[in-house]
Amino acid sequence: MDFQLTEEQVLIRDMVREFVENDIKPIAGAIDKEHRFPSESVAPMAELGLFGFNIDEAYGGTEADAISYVLATEEMAKVSASHAMIMGSQCSLTGPIIQKYADEETKARILPGVVSGEKLGCFCLSEPSAGCDAAAQETTAVRQGDNYVINGSKLWITAAPQGAFFIVFAMTDKSKGVKGITAFLVERDNPGISIGLPEDKMGMNGSETCSVSFSDCVVSASAMLGEEGKGFNIAMETLDGGRLSCSALALGIAQSALDATIAYTKERIQFGKPIAANQGIQWVLVDMATRVDCARMLVYRAAAAKMAGLPYTRESAQAKLYAAEAATYVTQKAVQLHGGMGYTKSYPVERLMREAKLTEIFEGTSEVQRMVIAKHILA
Q: Which of 298, 295, 277, 299 is nearest to 287 (CA)?
A: 295
Residue boundaries of the structural domains of the chain? 7-118, 121-228, 233-377
Q: For 115-149, write each residue's pLDDT tens digit.
A: 999 999 999 999 988 877 877 889 999 999 999 99
Q: How far apart are the C-alpha atoms of 247 and 322, rounded to whole Å?
A: 8
SS3 135: coil
Determine the pLDDT at residue 233: 95
Residue range 233-377, CATH number = 1.20.140.10
**Torsion (CA) 353, 204, 131, 241 in degrees, nearest 10:** -90
* Catalytic, out of 8, 138, 363, 367: 363
Q: Are 161 and 258 in contact (CB under 8 A)?
A: no
215 has a pLDDT exceeding 90: yes
Q: How far apart are the C-alpha atoms of 204 and 374, rounded to whole Å?
A: 30
pLDDT, mean over the chain: 95
Q: For 98-111, write each residue's pLDDT tens digit.
A: 999 999 999 999 99
69 has a pLDDT exceeding 70: yes
CATH architecture of 121-228: Beta Barrel (2.40)
Is 47 an active-site residue? no
Domain spanning 7-118: CATH superfamily: Acyl-CoA dehydrogenase/oxidase, N-terminal domain (1.10.540.10)
202 has a pLDDT exceeding 90: yes
63 has a pLDDT exceeding 80: yes
Confidence of residue 1 (pLDDT cuts 50, 70, 90): low
Q: For 267-281, write each residue's pLDDT tens digit.
A: 999 999 999 999 999
Q: Which of 94, 9, 8 is nearest to 55 (CA)?
A: 94
Q: For 235-264, write each residue's pLDDT tens digit.
A: 999 999 999 999 999 999 999 999 999 999
Q: For 310-356, write each residue's pLDDT tens digit.
A: 999 999 999 999 999 999 999 999 999 999 999 999 999 999 999 99
Q: How far apart are the C-alpha atoms of 322 and 335, rounded to whole Å?
A: 20
Determine the pLDDT at residue 135: 77
Q: Which of 6, 15, 19, 20 is nearest to 256 (CA)?
A: 20
